[in-house]
């Protein structure tokens, strides 16, 4: 069977998985008690509106009183057309809220990811080729330090030292400074440092472990016997085969960096990205927004798995896609 | 005759470990002439692989270290050559073939790409020219339909075919010396014979010398011009293949030959084990297992290589003054091995330590 057929089947499976997840989400929402109506009515009341009217308005907007099957088909159509609902706390469509928040997440997540991959892999490979030397021990120690410290604590400590005591960097994120300005870069330094330390450490440990499997491999000796220099041996004969298992971790890492660690970091540094948006939506019971901000990472995970599987077939010629 | 292509002089290679210094190769000397096949034989752990991987410094250093000696290759001392210089010699003038073809090729690249890499590391040729040469080489080492198979990955080849690919890769830059470290040990016997024949044919065609490391005396008899017998980091005996097989002159070589099934009346294993490389015995390294050991064998240094015949040396006190080498060599080789060895073991009063190896 050809690789194209394999990829086509994987894509089809990704679509099925997405459909199942959406259905489950719908089912959970249909049986959940607090669906936002109360919160909506409460907000109307605090603003001096009529509570019963607000309830009706809410039912009308969300189509709550329709039969379940109609609601289900409406929901699916809305999902497919990216009409993901109305955020009543922000008075805008959910999609607009996400689109507005996303650039702020990317602003620190992209540099943090790049830094953690480059530095993590570089240190890991160096440690593997210099196993049990002083530099290896220093790298390993640093990695364990990076993994061990929790991000929220590290973030607060950095704010205390560099923002409060030294006053070199701002203590929280301010919008409206322009993306490519020095001021924006300065306020992104601390979040990037917080996010990348843990990720560098993780990447370093994984790449060291994977590369160690190949440092003493026979084919590495063959490559040296051919007259390849150290750099060539490292990149082509150690790192390239190690890329296969590292790919899994790499994709998971990027996803995790974008949507898990970022939560805490955004709250600590008050960055108005996806994490903070989701956090506020949960606090304020903005159901549509909570659902959207949770589904986005779910979809990215599905796409990520798909990318992983395709990457395997490209990277490892031994994978046989006939049986799966 | 001209100078030998490779001359290993008094080579000492040691590993500095936490538990102590391991002298894996402890004063080894041998020569390899142009066009000649030299077999280095010995038990596992005798230092033969370490010695051969030290020649181009393939051995990881540290922990390994060339403590003393010189390695003259075509007149150049490789022990103080720079890493850069060694890179151009490795694969270019001295090529290697290793024991396990299953893991000797990088699993993520097609075999052709790996041969092309070897060619282009040493020759400034275009990718296409290198590819054409790779196809020629694969064809030469007996890969059927080389043009179709050049883009196949290693896992699509059998063990014997992989070893042919490795050999093609080793030949890619017309080396002067091929160091083959047990290249047939991992293969089954029929494939072994094919690979040995292939190496033999290629040797004439490419006009190269071969250092062949093995513990298989059957293979030695098949291909060797000369034999270097190693034991516990020392050379015990060197000589032509006829000298060593027909007139084995060191008790260790004799014991090794007695291990071969179908030689003489019965097959006899060597009693005892290889000495601890961190604390080798004083005197001759082999004395605890030697049926002929005397007081001289147990003290002082390992004996110097002494001449037995022209071009045939053995590191054994029996070839020195005051000893009668016929005790070891006897009259006719095969008879004497059985007769003398048996007598020595049977008679404990003649000054020989017959039970040394077993009694430890």
Interface contact flag, A227 B92, Cβ < 8 Å: yes
Measure CA B298 to chain center.
Answer: 27
SS3 at position B70? strand
Q: Is position A321 within any domain?
A: no
Identify the band that residue B274 occupies on the pLDDT scale cut at 50, 70 and 90.
Answer: confident
Reported ipTM: the value is 0.78
Domains of chain B: which residue ranges?
A: 6-227, 248-359
> Per the domain annotation, does A320 fall within a domain?
no
Q: How large is the average pLDDT for residues B257-281?
A: 73
The average pLDDT across B176-190 equals 85
For residue A55, the enclosing domain spans: 3-94
Instruction: Suggest the residue from B107, B108, B186 to mutate for an interface test with chain A (most A CBs closer than 10 A).
Output: B108
Q: What is the pLDDT of residue A105?
A: 84
Confidence of residue B30 (pLDDT cuts 50, 70, 90): confident
Q: Nearest residue of A to residue B109 by CA position?
A: A317
> Six-digit token pair at A244?
């296969």
Domain tally, chain A: 2
Query: How close, in Å, is residue A243 to chain B by CA atoms?
Result: 10
Q: Pairing relation of β-strands B37-41 and B226-231?
A: parallel
Q: What ranges in chain B are assigned the alpha helix state H?
A: 48-55, 83-89, 101-104, 111-122, 127-140, 146-149, 159-170, 189-206, 217-223, 241-246, 251-258, 326-329, 333-346, 356-359
- Report pLDDT for B19: 79
Residue of chain A whose alpha carbon sits nearest to that of B94: A225
Q: Of A57, A72, A94, which closes a domain?
A: A94
Q: How does residue B2 score in pLDDT terms, banded at 50, 70 and 90?
A: low
Same-domain pairing of A202 and A85: no
Domain end (from A66, A94, A122): A94
The answer to the question of residue A323 being in a domain is no
**Residue B233 backbone zone (phi > 0: left; psi -120 to 50: alpha; other: beta):** left
Residues A83 and A112 in one domain: no
Q: What is the CATH number of the domain that holds A184?
A: 1.10.3720.10
Asked whether the beta carbons of B48 and B42 are under 8 A apart, the reply is: yes
**A218 in contact with B, Cβ within 8 Å:** yes
Together in a domain, A39 and A176: no
Q: How confident is the model at residue B338 (pLDDT cuts 50, 70, 90)?
A: very low
Q: Does A228 touch chain B (CB under 8 A)?
A: yes
The pLDDT value recorded for residue B89 is: 86
Residues A157 and A276 in one domain: yes
pTM of the model: 0.73
Res A35: pLDDT = 61
Cβ atoms of residues B51 and B8 within 8 Å: yes
Q: Is A8 a member of any domain?
A: yes
User: What phi, psi does A224 have (nearest 5°)?
Assistant: -65, -40
| Burial grade of B96 (CB within 10 A; 0-12, 13-18, 19 or more) | buried
The reply to whether A266 falls in a domain is yes
Contact A315/B95, CB-based, under 8 Å?
no
Provide, as residue numbers in chain B, all residues whose Cβ is less than 8 Å from the Cβ of A219: 103-107
| Chain B interface mutation, best of A132, A214, A220, A227, highest count of B Cβ atoms under 10 Å | A227
User: Smallest CA–CA separation between B98 and chain A, in Å?
Assistant: 8
By the CB < 8 Å criterion, does A222 face chain B? yes
Asked if residue A123 and residue A52 are part of one domain, the reply reads no
Reported as a single tens digit per residue, the pLDDT across B56-99 is 888 877 778 888 888 888 888 888 888 888 888 888 888 888 88
Asked, for residue A17, whether it belongs to a domain, the answer is yes
Would A324 be classed as within a structural domain? no
Q: Say whether both A32 and A90 belong to one domain.
A: yes
Domain boundary among A94, A127, A149: A94
If asked whether residues A278 and A139 sit together in one domain, one would say yes
Of the residues A3, A225, A228, the best mutation for testing chain B's interface (the one with the most B CB atoms within 10 Å of its CB) is: A225
Residue A223 lies in a domain: yes
Question: What pLDDT was estimated at residue B350?
Answer: 41
Cβ-Cβ contacts under 8 Å between A and B: the total is: 74
Q: What is the mean pLDDT of each run of 10 residues along chain A (324 residues)?
A: 78 89 85 69 75 76 75 85 81 86 84 87 87 85 84 87 85 77 83 86 87 85 84 86 81 65 80 86 83 82 83 78 50
> Is the same domain home to A90 and A238?
no
Q: Is the CB of A219 less than 8 angstroms away from the CB of B118?
A: no
Q: Is the domain of A193 the same as that of A282?
A: yes
- Is B6-227 CATH 3.40.50.300? yes
With an 8 Å Cβ cutoff, is A315 touching chain B?
A: yes
Specify whether A60 is located in the same domain as A143: no
Task: Please give the angle made by the CA atoms of A167, A173 and A176, to the nearest 5 degrees.
Answer: 120
A36 in contact with B, Cβ within 8 Å: no
Q: Which residue do the tokens 């290679």 mark? A: B13
């Amino acid at each position: 069977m050809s690789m194209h057929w394999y990829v086509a089947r994987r894509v089809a499976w990704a679509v099925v998985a997405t459909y199942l997840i959406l259905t489950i989400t719908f089912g959970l929402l249909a049986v959940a008690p607090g669906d936002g109506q109360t919160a909506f009515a409460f907000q109307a009341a605090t603003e001096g509106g009529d509570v019963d009217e607000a309830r009706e308005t809410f039912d009308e907007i969300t189509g709550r009183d329709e039969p379940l099957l109609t609601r289900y088909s409406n929901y699916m159509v809305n999902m497919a057309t990216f009409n993901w609902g109305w955020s009543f706390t922000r008075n805008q469509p959910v999609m607009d809220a996400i689109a507005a928040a996303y650039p702020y997440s990317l602003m620190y997540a992209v540099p943090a990811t790049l830094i953690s991959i480059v530095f993590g892999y570089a240190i890991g490979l160096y440690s593997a080729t210099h196993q049990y030397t002083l530099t290896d021990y220093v790298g390993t120690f640093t990695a364990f330090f990076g993994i061990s410290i929790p991000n929220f604590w590290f973030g607060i400590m950095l704010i205390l030292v560099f923002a409060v005591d030294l006053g070199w960097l701002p203590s929280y994120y301010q919008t409206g400074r322009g993306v490519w300005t020095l001021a924006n870069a300065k306020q992104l330094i601390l979040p990037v440092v917080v996010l990348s330390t843990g990720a560098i450490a993780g990447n370093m440990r994984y790449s060291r472990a994977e590369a160690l499997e190949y440092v003493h491999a026979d084919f590495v000796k063959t490559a040296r016997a051919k007259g390849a220099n150290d750099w060539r041996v490292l990149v082509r004969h150690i790192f390239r085969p190690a890329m296969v298992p590292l790919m899994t971790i790499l994709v998971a890492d990027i996803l995790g960096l974008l949507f898990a660690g970022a939560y805490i970091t955004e709250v600590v540094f008050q960055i108005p990205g996806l994490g903070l948006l989701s956090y506020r939506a949960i606090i304020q019971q903005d159901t549509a927004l909570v659902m959207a901000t949770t589904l986005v990472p779910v979809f990215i995970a599905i796409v990520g798995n798909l990318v992983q599987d395709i990457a395997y077939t490209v990277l490892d010629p031994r994978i046989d896609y006939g049986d799966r | 005759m001209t100078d030998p292509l490779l001359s290993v002089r008094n080579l000492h290679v040691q590993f500095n470990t936490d538990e102590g210094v391991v002298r894996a190769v402890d004063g080894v000397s041998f020569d390899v002439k142009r066009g000649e096949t030299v077999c280095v034989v010995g038990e596992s752990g005798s230092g033969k692989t370490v010695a051969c991987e030290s020649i181009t410094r393939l051995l990881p250093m540290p922990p390994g270290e060339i403590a003393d000696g010189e390695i003259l290759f075509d007149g150049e001392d490789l022990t103080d050559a720079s890493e850069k210089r060694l890179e151009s010699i490795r694969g270019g003038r001295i090529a290697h073939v290793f024991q396990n073809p299953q893991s000797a090729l990088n699993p993520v690249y097609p075999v052709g790409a790996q041969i092309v890499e070897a060619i282009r590391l040493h020759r400034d040729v275009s990718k296409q020219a290198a590819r054409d040469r790779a196809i020629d080489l694969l064809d030469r080492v007996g890969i059927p339909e080389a043009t179709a198979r050049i883009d196949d990955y290693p896992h699509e080849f059998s063990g014997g075919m992989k070893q042919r690919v490795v050999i093609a890769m080793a030949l890619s830059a017309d080396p002067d010396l091929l160091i083959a470290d047990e290249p047939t040990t991992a293969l089954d016997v029929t494939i072994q014979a094919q690979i040995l024949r292939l190496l033999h044919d290629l040797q004439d065609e490419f006009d190269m010398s071969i250092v062949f490391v093995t513990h298989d005396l059957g293979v030695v008899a098949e291909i060797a011009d000369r034999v270097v017998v190693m034991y516990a980091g020392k050379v015990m005996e060197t000589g032509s293949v006829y000298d060593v097989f027909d007139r084995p002159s060191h008790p260790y070589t004799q014991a090794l030959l007695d291990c071969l099934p179908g030689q003489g009346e019965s097959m006899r294993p060597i009693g005892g084990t290889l000495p601890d490389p961190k604390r080798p015995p004083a005197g001759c390294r082999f004395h605890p297992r030697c049926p002929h050991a005397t007081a001289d064998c147990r003290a002082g240094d390992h004996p110097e290589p002494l001449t037995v015949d022209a071009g045939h040396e053995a590191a054994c006190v029996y070839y020195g003054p005051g000893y009668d080498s016929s005790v070891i060599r006897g009259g006719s080789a095969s008879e004497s091995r059985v007769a003398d060895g048996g007598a020595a073991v049977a008679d404990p009063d003649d000054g020989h330590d017959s039970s040394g190896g077993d009694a430890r």
